Structure 1
Amino acid sequence: MQKNQVLLIVSSSLVFALTACQPPSDKTAPEADTQTTTDQSSQPLAEAKTPKELTKALVKLSEDTLKEQLICSKLEDTINTIDNKSEIENIHAVQHQLTACLPVADNTQILQWLTEYQAMYQRFLSVNSTNSINNVNSATDNRALYALMRTIEQDQKITVAQLKEVSPRVRYLVSLIRSGSDVHVRYLGEGDYEFYHDLTAMADIFIPYLPEDQAAFVQRMAKDNQEIFWFDTAIAFSFEELVERTVFWEDFIKHYPQSIFYNDAESLFNMYRYLLFFGSENTQWTDKEIRNFYDSDNKRLLLKLAKRPNNELAKNVQDFFTFMEQSDAERLTQYPIPDKDENGGEIDERNITQYQLNEALNLSSPWIATQDRNCLTGIICVDKDAQ
């Protein structure tokens, strides 16, 4: 896991590495791109020396403008036709159209293309039962696919026999990996693998044409979601990175209260903050009684957070340390255990400490706000029912 300092504003010198699957986009500012395009397309007008040459130049300029407008008006349809039967050349065609259309599009249109482009890549890399080699024995097909994906993920040699046992679509995606395209394989845990691609390369296409807050949001999402979030119900990254992400999103919602991404950023902050104190089913930062950290470095990081002035997260951390130092009797006095929980069920003795900590911190569950939105796989959040 990378452990970089939090960045709120996208640096003008930011450069993303693009591979064969996503060729480099022009990093020049949108205004400069538009001006360059205009100067080049207007050059024949300046060179025209007779009325006839001027007329031809005007006609040519009108034809080019209409052609560009037509291409851009059809771009969304072109993106939506790409699925898990398409080839990489289809994506390259979309990228070339975006290069021409992004400099002249408004923000609403750019965000729509970004959303469609993200969904396009998910379709392109998806492998499901319809890709099965014969759809007769899915269990056998799944085992063959699993074995092949494991071989690729472990950077071992792929055999001809392995390729013959999987679908043509899987073989095609494997060929992209072998050719150095922006397609890779990773293990998700619990026996699942997936094909994935470079989110920073995707973000790089759109960032030059987004306002500051949106560019900062997309950049951070691309960085955080490049790797998996969960691994067998454990948090798949370090406590230090969890702290960094939590601080970033708190700073974001303070710095950009009018951002179109404010609600998603707030949901991310609440989720990361909750995990900072409660961990997950297979990730705990302290002992069961919440009195001692398993790793002293984690305590050091939280102590540093607690010193941030006039800060909501710092106050949460201070309350957390206060709770850690309380005796059982003090906790029971301050946070008595009710007969029933909020759902009407009995509170299990194993959950008493967690219940009391929740009362001490007074944090609402982040899972309600995130149950219908997916913010953990792409460069923007999307409704889960739309995926």
Structure 2
Amino acid sequence: MVACQQHDETHPIKEQIETPKVQNTAVDLTLMCQNIEKNMAEINDQRTTFALEQINQDLKVCLPLLKLEQQKALLKLSLEMYDDFLQVTRTPAQQIAFERYAFDMAQHPTIHQSHFEQLTPRDQYLLKHQGQAYVEVVDTGNEKLTYRRSPDYLARIFAPYMPEAEKVFIENLAHQNIEPALQNQSLQIEPFEVARRALFWESYIHQYPQSSYLNDAKILLAQYRYFLFIGSPKSLVSEDYHDQYSVRASSWEEIEKLAQSDDSELSKLAKKFIHFYHMSDEERRQNMHAKKSENAEQQLIDYLNLIRPHSHKNCLTDAICL
């Protein structure tokens, strides 16, 4: 009986002890989420990767509690936060030392470089801690190196807590932009991958017409269509647009495969592309009402109704269009 009595008496006491703890946790959580914007705004070029990681952990807790508009406001703040964190002021000599050191490390990561001490203290810190808190060093072309926040950041920190349309957009664009698609005006991906991405964005637009990223998906679709049928300034699909044999073999092969399928808008464009190369110059002018002065590239762009890549929006570096 004593044992039973003790059990009955201690149980309510245990509940009384635990209840304030739960309330305090709820209060702490509310306070943390209320302060997150302020804490993000306080991140600057003097802070550590540990401070970033702490905010990223807080974001994972707070994001599931927010509506999409609030999530996207924090997403915008996260861009500014990383921009501030990765700011480095260098002299011209320090700039040369940074690029030399970072490029050498990319080529020979095990070799200790003697000019490390010539770097700014901030560069020394960031280079030592690259890979932490989604901080990377990337080659932007012509051996110019810079810091960036990995595209994986938004895919891991934000996407899991967003509606499906936004989640799918961010996760897929992050994956596509881990490595550059375009560098020094030259395509870094094969026609097969260009076609795969164009088909993905075409499908995304049909599947998620209510997505808040719908317009950006349309920009991406237009961009990859252009890459597939025209190329880039230093990776042209054709040099003179004369006939099939003036088209890069890998591009022709991929476009021919697309033309044989019937389930996409891209397939229809592929059929038109092949038809264009089977026409004579005179047939092109007659069928497209083209002027004699119009070059063949412009004729093809008009015939396929392609849009030249946007210059005001960059969709090829992060998990969203910037």
Q: TM-score range by the shorter chain?
A: 0.7 to 0.9
1:113 counterpart = 2:85: no
1:223-234 correspondence runs (5 A): 223-234=175-186
CA contact (8 A) 2:155 2:174 kept: yes
Instruction: Name which of 62, 68, 73 aligns with 2:29.
Output: 68
Q: Deviations over 1:340-359 (max 9, x none)?
A: xxxxxxx5xxx611121122
Deviation at 1:268, TM superposition (A): 0.8
CA contact (8 A) 2:46 2:85 kept: yes
Deviation at 1:79, TM superposition (A): 1.7
Q: Which has the higher helix share?
A: 2
Question: Identity over the aligned pairs, expressed in percent?
Answer: 27
Match of 1:284 in 2: 236
**Alpha carbons of 1:338 and 1:105: their partners in 2 closer, same or farther (altered >3 Å)?**
same
**Alpha carbons of 1:69 and 1:180: their partners in 2 closer, same or farther (altered >3 Å)?**
closer
SS of the counterpart of 2:232? Answer: coil
Q: How many residues are paired up? A: 312
Match of 1:303 in 2: 256
Deviation at 1:61, TM superposition (A): 2.6
**Alpha carbons of 1:207 and 1:48: their partners in 2 closer, same or farther (altered >3 Å)?**
farther
Deviation at 1:337, TM superposition (A): 4.3
Match of 1:158 in 2: 112
The one-letter amino acid of 2:70's match is: Q
CA contact (8 A) 1:84 1:126 kept: yes
1:297-336 correspondence runs (5 A): 297-336=250-289
1:372 counterpart = 2:312: yes
The one-letter amino acid of 1:379's match is: A
SS of the counterpart of 2:139? Answer: strand
Match of 1:18 in 2: none
The one-letter amino acid of 2:86's match is: L
CA contact (8 A) 2:50 2:133 kept: no
Match of 1:49 in 2: 11
CA contact (8 A) 1:48 1:57 kept: no
1:250 counterpart = 2:211: no
1:72-221 correspondence runs (5 A): 72-127=33-88, 130=89, 132=90, 135=91, 138=92, 140-156=93-109, 157-160=111-114, 162-177=115-130, 182-221=134-173
Unaligned runs of 5+ in 2: 1-8
The farther-off stretch of 322-331 and 98-107 is 98-107
Distance in 2 of aligned mates of 1:181 and 1:106: 25
CA contact (8 A) 1:146 1:193 kept: yes
Distance in 2 of aligned mates of 1:223 and 1:122: 21
**Alpha carbons of 1:230 and 1:167: their partners in 2 closer, same or farther (altered >3 Å)?**
same
Deviation at 1:218, TM superposition (A): 0.8
**Alpha carbons of 1:72 and 1:89: their partners in 2 closer, same or farther (altered >3 Å)?**
same
The farther-off stretch of 301-310 and 143-152 is 301-310
Deviation at 1:257, TM superposition (A): 0.8
SS of the counterpart of 2:211? Answer: coil
Unaligned runs of 5+ in 1: 1-46, 340-346, 383-387
The one-letter amino acid of 1:355's match is: Q
The one-letter amino acid of 1:316's match is: L
CA contact (8 A) 2:154 2:170 kept: no
Distance in 2 of aligned mates of 1:95 and 1:110: 13
Deviation at 1:64, TM superposition (A): 1.8
SS of the counterpart of 2:129? Answer: helix
The farther-off stretch of 271-280 and 245-254 is 271-280
